[in-house]
């Protein structure tokens, strides 16, 4: 099942809108900075990738804004941007469009206010919108309602792998007859309680300087920085996209594969077997050989152990190439956006293919040993026809997506 990506909507620490995001990445601007909004000192962390330029009033109607969490505001904004980018308006067949998003931690800030009211002042302090604002399906439901999309909609949760998995599930939806699906997701876990929850993973960097905090594939890697935002993409069945005269095709979703380590509730499997298998499944699905892959956009967890495992997985699949495969981790510029992060990486990969530019990995000055892998330090010009995007979710989720710049499956 081949799908075309016909629209991108980005709300990310790097910017609101796909071009703002891309320009920020190419300029090598740090979107990671001191946490604003509250003092996080006692959580042992001080940095985050917040979406600073986001004004919800520009994107969300007032009556909808009061019913929803920041996470949903970002989804609503990104969904609009994606549809506008695609020139997509709801077709006459109301069932022809689906919303299938990844979710991570739900409506955190909204919920912390309501639960504080409950415990400080009693049940009557809980407002009428708590029941619809915090649960994991809120963004999908609100997008579907606002835009009138009645197709089979869904919500998947696989932590950081969710963005890719939503695309994998969208293929099943499309295979069963729904030609257009909004995919991806956003995340907003920046209130004190959600941040504390994330800090208990022990995987957050305690560094105080942005250039030392989130350093995937660097010898100094010491954890990651939390980010917010994400991306929503419109994917369409090729015939339907052609039939409606889609102006732009960003690329083709050519293959997808997902596995689970099934090793331990917390620790990754000590070998990268299942991660490598997810990559192989996606390549086989796309009918692409490892030699044809021009770039791997990595998960880039930013801890020495997880980075080594990712490089082992990539090495196992691509190690026999005559030239090492280029690998970059653009999330190093934004922080990890959980469910939104892998969706944003798909958008970044499509931008990279459009312009033939590979964004480098932030502050990668002391790369780890990575046989068979070409870690991209500085932004470089390179023609990109086929890009693999990787993602992992805490607990052992492994996902892989193959993107092609020039659709071939569409002809079939």
Partner 1 sequence: MSTERRRVVVTGIGVVAPGSMGREGFWDMITAGRTATRRITFFDPARFRSQVAAEVDFDGRALGLSAQEIHRNDRFVQMAMVAADEAVADSGLRFGAGGADDAPDPDRVGVTLGTAVGATMRLEQEYVSVSDAGAHWLVDPRYASRFLAHALVPSCGATELAVRFGAHGPATVVSTGCTSGIDAVGYGSQLVEDGDADVVIAGASDAPISPISMACFDTIRATTDSNDDPEHASKPFDARRNGFVMGEGSAVLVLEELEHARRRGAEVYCEVTGYASRCNAFHMTGLKPDGTEMAEAIREALGQGRIDPAEVGYVNAHGSGTKQNDRHETAAVHKSLGPAAERVAMSSIKSMVGHSLGAIGSIEIAATALAVQRGVLPPTANYEVPDPECDLDYVPKVAREQKVDVALSVGSGFGGFQSAIVLASPSRRTE
Radius of gyration of the chain (CA): 20
Q: How far is CA 247 from its chain centroid?
A: 24
Among 53, 80, 91, 137, binds partner 1 (CB under 8 A): 137
Check residue 138 for interaction with partner 1 (CB under 8 A): yes
Among 55, 264, 305, 382, binds partner 1 (CB under 8 A): 264
What is the Cα–Cα distance from 255 to 285, expressed in whole angstroms?
5
Check residue 65 for interaction with partner 1 (CB under 8 A): no
Q: Which residue has the tokens 């990754």?
A: 268
Check residue 392 for interaction with partner 1 (CB under 8 A): no
What is the Cα–Cα distance from 192 to 108, expressed in whole angstroms?
9
Instruction: Write out the binding residues for partner 1, residues 312-331 only, by CB under 8 A.
Output: none
Site pattern 21..60 for partner 1 (x: CB under 8 A): -----------------xx--xxx----------------
What is the Cα–Cα distance from 47 to 66, expressed in whole angstroms?
28
Query: Among residues 24 and 259, whose Cβ is nearest to partner 1?
Result: 259
Q: Least distance in Å: CB of 397 to partner 1?
A: 6
What is the Cα–Cα distance from 384 to 42, expressed in whole angstroms?
44
Q: Least distance in Å: CB of 160 to partner 1?
A: 9
Beta-bridge partners for 357: 381
Instruction: Write out the binding residues for partner 1, residues 192-231 only, by CB under 8 A.
Output: 192-194, 196-202
Check residue 253 for interaction with partner 1 (CB under 8 A): no
Check residue 150 for interaction with partner 1 (CB under 8 A): yes
The secondary structure of residue 408, as a DSSP letter, is: S
Q: Least distance in Å: CB of 256 to partner 1?
A: 10
DSSP codes, 342-353: HHHHHHHHHHHH
What is the Cα–Cα distance from 8 to 190, expressed in whole angstroms?
24
Q: Least distance in Å: CB of 353 to partner 1?
A: 26
Q: Which two tokens stand for residue 370?
A: 């990575």
Check residue 261 for interaction with partner 1 (CB under 8 A): yes
Q: At what angle are helices 18-27 and 339-355 packed, to 10 degrees?
A: 80
220 φ/ψ angles, rounded to the nearest 5 degrees: -90, 10
336 φ/ψ angles, rounded to the nearest 5 degrees: -90, 125
Q: 261: Cβ–Cβ under 8 A, 6 or more apart, which residues?
A: 268, 269, 274, 275, 395, 396, 397, 398
Check residue 179 for interaction with partner 1 (CB under 8 A): no
Q: Least distance in Å: CB of 389 to partner 1?
A: 17
Site pattern 85..104 for partner 1 (x: CB under 8 A): ---------xx---x---xx
Query: Among residues 313 and 352, whose Cβ is nearest to partner 1?
Result: 313
Q: Least distance in Å: CB of 77 to partner 1?
A: 18
What is the Cα–Cα distance from 34 to 36, expressed in whole angstroms?
6
Among 6, 276, 397, 402, binds partner 1 (CB under 8 A): 397
Among 117, 290, 319, 356, binds partner 1 (CB under 8 A): 117
Among 16, 35, 51, 114, binds partner 1 (CB under 8 A): 114
């Amino acid at each position: 099942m081949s799908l075309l990506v016909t629209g991108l909507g980005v709300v990310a620490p790097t910017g609101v809108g796909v071009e703002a995001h891309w320009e920020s990445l190419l300029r090598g601007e740090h979107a990671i900075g001191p946490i604003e909004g509250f003092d996080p000192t006692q959580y042992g962390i001080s940095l985050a990738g917040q979406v600073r330029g986001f004004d919800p009033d520009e994107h969300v109607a007032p009556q909808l804004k009061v019913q929803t969490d920041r996470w949903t505001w970002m989804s609503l904004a990104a969904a609009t941007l994606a549809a506008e980018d695609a020139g997509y308006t709801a077709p006459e067949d109301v069932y022809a469009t689906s919303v299938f998003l990844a979710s991570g931690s739900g409506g955190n800030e909204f919920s912390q206010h309501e639960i504080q009211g409950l415990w400080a002042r009693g049940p009557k302090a809980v407002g009428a919108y708590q029941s619809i604002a915090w649960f994991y399906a809120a963004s999908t439901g609100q997008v579907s309602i606002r835009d009138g999309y009645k197709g089979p909609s869904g919500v998947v949760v696989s932590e950081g792998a969710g963005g890719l998995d939503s695309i994998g599930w969208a293929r099943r939806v499309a295979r069963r007859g729904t030609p257009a699906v909004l995919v991806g997701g956003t995340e907003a876990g920046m209130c004190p309680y959600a941040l504390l929850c994330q800090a208990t993973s022990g995987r957050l960097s305690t560094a105080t300087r942005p250039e030392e905090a989130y350093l995937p594939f660097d010898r100094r890697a010491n954890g990651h920085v939390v980010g917010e935002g994400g991306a929503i993409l419109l994917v369409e069945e090729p015939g339907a996209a052609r039939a409606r005269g889609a102006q732009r095709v960003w690329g083709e979703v050519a293959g997808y594969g997902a596995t689970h380590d099934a090793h331990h509730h917390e620790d990754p499997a000590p070998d990268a077997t299942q991660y490598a298998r997810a990559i192989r499944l996606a390549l086989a699905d796309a009918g692409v050989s490892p030699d044809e892959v021009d770039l791997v956009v990595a998960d880039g967890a930013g801890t020495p152990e997880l980075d080594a495992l990712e490089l082992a997985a990539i090495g196992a699949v691509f190690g026999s190439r005559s030239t090492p495969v280029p690998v970059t981790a653009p999330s190093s510029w934004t922080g990890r956006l959980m469910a939104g992060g892998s969706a944003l990486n798909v958008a970044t990969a499509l931008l990279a293919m459009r312009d033939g530019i590979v964004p480098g990995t932030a502050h990668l000055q002391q790369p780890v040993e990575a046989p068979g892998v070409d870690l991209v330090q500085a932004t470089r010009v390179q023609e990109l026809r086929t890009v693999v995007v990787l993602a992992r979710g805490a607990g052992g989720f492994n996902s892989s997506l193959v993107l092609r710049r020039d659709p071939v499956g569409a002809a079939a």
